[in-house]
Amino acid sequence: MGAVLEKIIGQIDKKEIRLVAGAGGMKKPVEWVHMVDNEAIADFLVGGEVAFTTGIGIGPEMSLYDLVKRVYERNASGMVINVGPYVARIPEEILDFGNEHDFPVFEVPWEVHMANLMRIFCEEITRTQQRVMEVGTAFYNAIFIPKQEELYMPALIQNGYLDSQRYRIAVLQFFKKEKNQYLPVSQTRREICQKKIQYLSEWTWQDIIICTEQEQLLLVARDEEKEPQKDPFVLIVSEMRRMLPENECFFIGAGSVAEGIGSLEKSYQMARQTMRLGMARGMENQLQRYEELGMYQIFLQIQDAEWLQDFYGRTIRPLKEYDALNHSNLEEVLNCYLRCDGSVQETAQKLFVHRNTINYKLRKIGDILDRDLTSFPVRCELFMGLLAEDLC
């Protein structure tokens, strides 16, 4: 994981390096640095590097503009040009190119040693990578082996994460959509999305730590009072909506607030179940928060999966099986009827049918389930059964 270009440049004396074009690309991630003095070397770039050049390879067969363009085409994050014997000045066409493509171009005086600048870049990138790995591992241990505090507490405290602070965990998973099915994306695709989230965290100064658990990403953030548009999870959802193609989607659930590092495991469990509930309800690309789930919170506290299955089986499953065999919509009618507080007229209006049709279907539902739908306790039980269905 690299650092953000803007932050690295902020650590260098302005007399040593000056941005001359492409200011719109300063929030790009930087994976590493590379010395590039000709097109052949530029072809070794894999993306995310900052390319440095003295211009020594510039000649009649390749102009500086051609080199900058080639570096950009290789998905580099920026270009540093040493102005001196080989490059008297940076041509206007390069400045125009950088501004047009939000490709940062920097000018460095000849007396400044390029090796020193490259060292600063490499040190910051390495420092960022080490911190991300160290803190991510510590939070992972805090979530999954909370009793062994020696595996996470020293590293977290050293990096400014205190047990007296509040945290929140979100669980995020990406999918491909194929024939009405959700299929997990490849590991490579997941890693690309993970990098995007990490860089979003860095250049927006949002302190988000990312752990991985099988095919899911675990996002850990301090729970602080923030304006909704600055909420780290809201920012992530907004960015992921923008960058994902139409055949991909994600589900994300935020857990309960963890009062201290020792409570992270519970926040994770709530986040995981909230995400699963979002999947069951088809809530693509939407942030689901545990505290906003209403009565679903009751079921999320139940760890006995067999009990949930049994409760669903005693309430709603017979109706679902009848619908499957007879191509009917009795479960839909019951769901609408319960959400309309038992009003036949309102149910008929919402389903665009005559009230006599609703009355007939309600009698049919009562017979199948052997329940009296006019009874308020019965309606409550069946409504809970519909909620349980989403978790089975």
When pLDDT is cut at 50, 70 and 90, the band that residue 227 belongs to is: low
Give residue for tokens 């935020």: 254
Q: Is the sign of the CA dihedral 18, 24, 26, 29 positive or negative?
A: negative
Q: Please state the φ and ψ torsions of residue 220, each to the nearest 5 degrees.
A: -110, 130
Give the CA dihedral 58, 61, 67, 69, nearest 10 degrees. 150
Residue 388 CB-density burial (10 A; 0-12 exposed, 13-18 middle, 19+ buried): buried
Res 2: pLDDT:
59
Domain topology for 162-300: Alpha-Beta Plaits (3.30.70)
**What's the whole-number average pLDDT of the chain?**
90
Res 202: pLDDT:
72
Distance separating alpha carbons of residues 138 and 126, to the nearest angstrom: 18
Length of the chain: 392
pLDDT tens readout for residues 234-254:
889 998 999 899 999 999 999
Res 59: pLDDT:
75
Res 14: pLDDT:
86
pLDDT tens readout for residues 343-383:
999 999 999 999 999 999 999 999 999 999 999 999 999 99
Res 58: pLDDT:
83
CB 184 within 8 A of CB 173: yes
As a whole-number percent, the residues of the chain with pLDDT over 90 amount to: 68
13 to 8, 17, 27, 108: CA distances (angstroms): 11, 7, 19, 11
Distance separating alpha carbons of residues 383 and 392, to the nearest angstrom: 15
Res 21: pLDDT:
97
pLDDT tens readout for residues 108-124:
999 999 999 999 999 99
Predicted confidence (pLDDT) at residue 389 exceeds the cutoff of 90: no
Res 175: pLDDT:
95
As a whole-number percent, the residues of the chain with pLDDT over 70 amount to: 97
Kindly provide the b/e burial profile for residues 294-312, where b requires at least 16 CB atoms within 10 angstroms of the residue's own CB.
Answer: eebeebbeeeeeeebeebb
Q: Please state the φ and ψ torsions of residue 89, each to the nearest 5 degrees.
A: -160, 160
According to the CATH classification, is domain 3-121 in 3.70.10.10?
no
pLDDT tens readout for residues 270-311:
999 899 889 888 899 999 999 888 888 887 777 677 888 899
For the sheet with 105-109, list strands across it: 18-21, 105-109, 78-83, 49-53, 32-35
pTM: 0.74
Res 388: pLDDT:
86
Domain ranges of the chain: 3-121, 162-300, 305-389
Tokens representing 96 are 């125009």
Strand partners, 219: 170, 210
Distance separating alpha carbons of residues 372 and 362, to the nearest angstrom: 10
Q: What is the mean pLDDT of residues 92-109?
A: 97
pLDDT tens readout for residues 22-57:
999 998 889 899 999 988 898 899 888 999 999 998
Strand partners, 79: 51, 105
Q: What is the mean pLDDT of residues 92-103?
A: 97
Q: What is the mean pLDDT of residues 74-97?
A: 95
Res 132: pLDDT:
86
According to the CATH classification, is domain 305-389 in 1.10.10.2840?
yes
Distance separating alpha carbons of residues 340 and 345, to the nearest angstrom: 9
The DSSP letter of residue 110 is T
Res 226: pLDDT:
62
Res 351: pLDDT:
94
